[in-house]
Each structure stands twice: as structure tokens, then as C-alpha cells.
A and B are shown apart, each in its own frame.
Chain A
Amino acid sequence: MSILEINHIEKSFGQAHILRDISFEMEQGQTVAIIGSSGSGKTTLLRCINFLETPDSGTIRVNGDVILDAAVDKNLTDKEKRDRRLHFGMVFQSFNLFPQYTALENVTLARKLMAREREDYKANKKAINQEIDAIGEELLRQIGLYERKDYYPHQLSGGQQQRVAIARALALEPDILCFDEPTSALDPELTGEVLKVIRSLADKNMTMIIVTHEMAFARDVADKVIFMDEGVIVEMGDSNEVINNPKQERTKQFLSRYTNEGM
């Protein structure tokens, strides 16, 4: 059974038809890269999956359960959206770290807030928070920033901030981790460290969807590549196949822009 199954997603903003009949699925432990030029709808697709936008029609299933059916879930309450989106983690292009919290606090905040809803919270407050701190520290160690755990975001480089943002998303143990152009806001010399972290997650079989402009990275890390243009999926398949031997004319045209960049 597929871990994620997207069926016939449609989304318009006013007159602009952004997503047209988007369907795909992915397996546990897979990494899917979504490529395409800006305005192709790939970011909107990711936002629909994360409940930041509500599709006009279509369904989303996780592990076979329907978590969104646009036909019936037009007006989800905040609480319902909250519960359902926890299947997913999200890493933003512009990091969106909380500036007034340290790296460690950024990673642990949401989990600590969630722990307050536990029935045994009052009795074991201290132990629970210590446990969450330990988890946070371990995550920071994994991304190589344990020494910077007490730094505030503005004291970190862009690449370091994005790595903290990845740890923050991982702290909630999502089924699927989504990246929206995670390196686009970074200086070129800083992209490497972020890609390295994502690559290490792939090696641990984390299920991930990555919207990216890094073609070489998509080819090497992703199991599957989806090429989108003007709101439709033009081509989809094994990453080596799609990037090295595209079948569709539009895919070839798009990829030709990247061939000079030492892919």
C-alpha cells in the first residue's frame, strides 16, 4: 500500500487555474522530487498536501485513509486541519524559524506545547520536558549543530538556520517530510550543507517530497521525479530516467537550461 496517494487535485485562485488533475503516489521510504519552472504549481501542490491551501477538488490518502476529500471537507475546523496535517512536516524556502527562540527551543517548542495536552502532563511536567529537550538535542546532533543549540536564529548562517528548520520539522516525527525549495534562499556556498542533511535523511529511508531546482541533487537522491508545467504533471518516473532521458518535449526544454551547470 502506498504511504501517500494524491488523486485528481484541482486548485484555482480566482481566474488562475494553478493545479489541474494532479495524481501521484509514493511508497514508504521513498524520496520524490518535484521539478519545474516557477509558476508551474509545484509549491501550491506542496501547500495543499500540508493543508496550507485547500484544494477545490480531489482526495489525499495517507496509508490508505482518506485525510482530505475536497468534496466533503470544504470547511475544516482549525482543530481538524491540525490533526490531519501532523502526518506531514514542512520545511520552508525562507526557514521561518521563530526569532525569539534559540535553536533548541525552536526544535522543541511545538512538541512541548503538544505535551501539555497529555493527561499525565501536570504530574510529570519536568520529566516530559527533559525528555523532549533530549530529543531536540539529539536531532541537533544529527544535523551537526549541537554546539549551536543556544544560538538565536540571527546568530546562525542561512544554511545553519535551514538545518535547524529541518530538525524542527523532524521533532514531530512526521510520516512524510516536505521541502519547499529548501536551498533557494541560500547563497550557493551554503546549499551544500543543507543538501547533505537531506541526503542523510534519504539514506535513513525518511519519506520525503522535495520541491527543488537542484537537478543533480534530484537525480542522485530522489527515487522518483515529477516534472510539472502550467499546473499539470508532464512527466513522472524513475529519477535517472526523467532527468537523463526525458520523453516529453517540454521536459527536455526545461532540463536543457540546466545542462550547462555541470550536472
Chain B
Amino acid sequence: MSQIITQFPIVFEALNVGFLQTLKLFIITLVGAIPLGLVICLGSMSKIKPLKAITKVFVWIIRGTPLMIQLLIVYYFPGLALNNPVWGGGEEGRFLAASVSFIINYACYFSEIYRGGIQSIPVGQDEAGMVLGMTKSQTFFKVKLLQMVKKIVPPMSNEVITLVKDTSLSRIIALQEIIWAGQAFLKGSQGISGAIWPLFFTGIYYLIFSGILTVLFAKLEKKLDFFR
């Protein structure tokens, strides 16, 4: 116990650095995947048959393969197959490659959630907009969008909390997120070796972070509770 107390400041700092990386990846993934998901969603609902087919196959591939393999392919494929290691070996390159993989993966999941949300809105809303002389885009933005947002908040909150934990997959391409930082003390880092507790301690970070998100999503749901 006394050992933990002396180790704590060093471990805490290292875990914070790792968590910052986790948080960065989390935020960038959301910023990229939320709009990209809408583009993919529109593609998968497009009236242009080839576009629709290509989008559907793409979504199938991304959702049908593990994110871990996607990370490996995105990061290593350019150097292995094209002899052009675009990402470089440094931390920044690894972070960029991880961001790209996560954005694409989550955009595909989001697109399906959006599609469910859009399709769950009764056709009567469209017709009411039409007979009132509203344009398609007015009907979408002024009438359907908020209804859709309300419908997708619960599944999105699920997906976003999964994302918090999925970020740990990025250490397969040696992105030094929080679990990596915790594991470092097992084999030895900064004079501390064989310390098991930092790895388990990372769980507290995840727990607090997902707790905050749960509260935020509950607030959002409540905010949208004024209509049904």
C-alpha cells in the first residue's frame, strides 16, 4: 500500500498523458464520424442505384470486419503494399492513422443509426410538409431533423460509450493511450516495474468518463422530452 502511495504521482501523471491521447482520439472520431455518417447514410438511401450499392457494400465491409484489422490495414498497408509509408513511424502518424480508422468505422455505424431514425419518421410528416408548400429541404431541416435526433439519441449514446472503450484498440498500432500507459508499469517504466495496479486503475478513468457521458446524454434526452 505504501508502495502505491509513493508510485502514485508518477503513475498518475503517465496515465493522464495516456488518457489525453484517448480523449483526443474520442473527440476527433466524433467530430469526423457524425457528419461523415450522414453522408454515408444519404448514400445508402440514394435513388442512384450504383451509389446505393457501393455504399451498402462499403458499410457491410466496415461493419463486418473487426476494427482491429482495419487499424492494422490502414496503418501498415501503405508501407507494405505500396512501398510508401505515408503515416511515418512517429506518434503523430500513428494517431492520424488511428483517427482515420475510427472515423470510417464509426461513421458506418452512425449511418445505420441515422437511417433507422429517418425511416422511423411517419410519411405523413413529409406529406404535411408538401401540402403546406414546404420544400424538401425545409421539411427535412425544420420538421424531420429534430424528430430524427430524438429517435437516435438512445442508440447514439450506446455507440458513443462503446467508442470510449474501443479507443483502447488503437494500441495495436502502438498508439500510447491510457491502457498502454498503464501496462508500461508492469514491465518497468520510470523506475517502477512490476506494478499491476496502474493497469486496473485505468478502469476508473473509463468509468468516470463514461459516467459523465451517460449524464450528458440523459440531459439531452430530457431536453428533447418536450415533444413526442
Direct contact of A and B (CB under 8 A): yes
Q: Choose, from B29-37, B61-69, B129-137, B203-211, the stretch at the interface.
A: B129-137
Asked if A216 CB lies within 8 Å of chain B CBs, one says no
Residue of B with least CB distance to A89: B131
Given contacts A96-B122, A113-B138, contact A85 B228 (CB under 8 A): no
Interface residues on B, range: 20 to 34
Q: Between A and B, how many residue pairs show CB distances below 8 Å?
A: 66
Do the beta carbons of A85 and B131 come within 8 Å of each other?
Answer: yes
Chain A residues with CB under 8 A of B136: 78
**B51 on interface, CB distance cutoff 8 Å:** no
- The CA of A154 and the CA of B146, in the complex, are separated in Å by 16
Contact A50 to B131, CB < 8 A, known contacts A100-B146, A113-B142, A154-B228: yes
Q: A254: CB under 8 A from chain B?
A: no
CA distance A81 to B129 in the complex (A): 13
Q: Is the CB of A172 within 8 A of B133?
A: yes
From known contacts A113-B142, A153-B227, infer whether A94 and B134 are also in contact, taking CB-CB under 8 Å.
Answer: no
In the complex with contacts A152-B226, A154-B227, A154-B228, A96-B133 CB distance below 8 A: no
A172 neighbours in B (Cβ, 8 Å): 132-133
Cα A239 to Cα B131 with chains together (Å): 28
Chain B residues contacting A109 (CB-CB under 8 Å) are 132, 142
Task: State in angstroms the CA–CA spacing of A152 and B227 once bound together.
Answer: 7
User: Is A82 an interface residue, CB under 8 A from the partner?
Assistant: yes
State A100–B142 Cα separation when bound (angstroms): 10
Asked if B90 CB lies within 8 Å of chain A CBs, one says no
CA distance A26 to B132 in the complex (A): 23
Type the 1/0 row for B131-157, where 1 means its CB is closer than 8 Å to any CB of A.
111111010001100110010000000
Bound complex: CA A97 to CA B124 (Å): 9
Judged by DSSP, the binding face of B is helix
Q: Is the CB of B124 within 8 A of A94?
A: yes
CA gap between A63 and B122 in the complex, in Å: 34
Q: In whole angstroms, what is the CA distance A200 to B228 when docked? A: 31
Known: A99-B228, A100-B227. A110 touches B133 (CB 8 A): yes
* CB-CB nearest in chain A for B144: A98
The answer to whether the Cβ of A209 comes within 8 Å of any Cβ in the partner chain is no
Indicate if the CB atoms of B228 and A82 lie closer than 8 Å: no
Name A52's contact: one of B130, B138, B226, B227 (CB within 8 Å). Answer: B130
B150 surroundings in chain A (CB, below 8 A):
100
Question: Can you list, as one digit per residue, whether each of A70-89 has a CB less than 8 Å from chain B (1) or not (0)?
Answer: 00000000110110011011
Q: Does B84 contact A (CB under 8 A)?
A: no
A148 to B108, CA, bound (A): 43
CA distance A86 to B125 in the complex (A): 17
CA distance A88 to B132 in the complex (A): 9
A172 to B130, CA, bound (A): 13
A78-B136, A110-B133 known; A92-B128 Cβ under 8 A: yes
Contact A98 B124 (CB under 8 A): no
Question: Once the chains are docked, how many angstroms separate the CA of A52 from the CA of B124?
Answer: 11
Check A60 for interface membership: any CB of B closer than 8 A: no
Whether A98 pairs with B143 at a CB distance below 8 angstroms is: yes
CB<8 Å pairs between A and B, sample of 23? A52-B131, A82-B133, A90-B127, A90-B131, A92-B124, A94-B122, A96-B122, A96-B124, A96-B127, A97-B128, A98-B125, A98-B143, A100-B143, A100-B146, A100-B226, A109-B132, A109-B142, A110-B129, A110-B132, A110-B133, A113-B142, A153-B228, A154-B227
Taking Cβ atoms with an 8 Å cutoff, the residues of B that contact A are 122, 124-125, 127-136, 138, 142-143, 146-147, 150, 226-228
Binding site for B on A (CB under 8 A): 50-52, 78-79, 81-82, 85-86, 88-90, 92, 94, 96-100, 109-110, 113-114, 152-154, 168-169, 172
Having A99-B227, A110-B129, one finds 6 other A-B pairs with CB under 8 Å, namely A52-B127, A85-B131, A96-B128, A100-B226, A109-B132, A169-B131
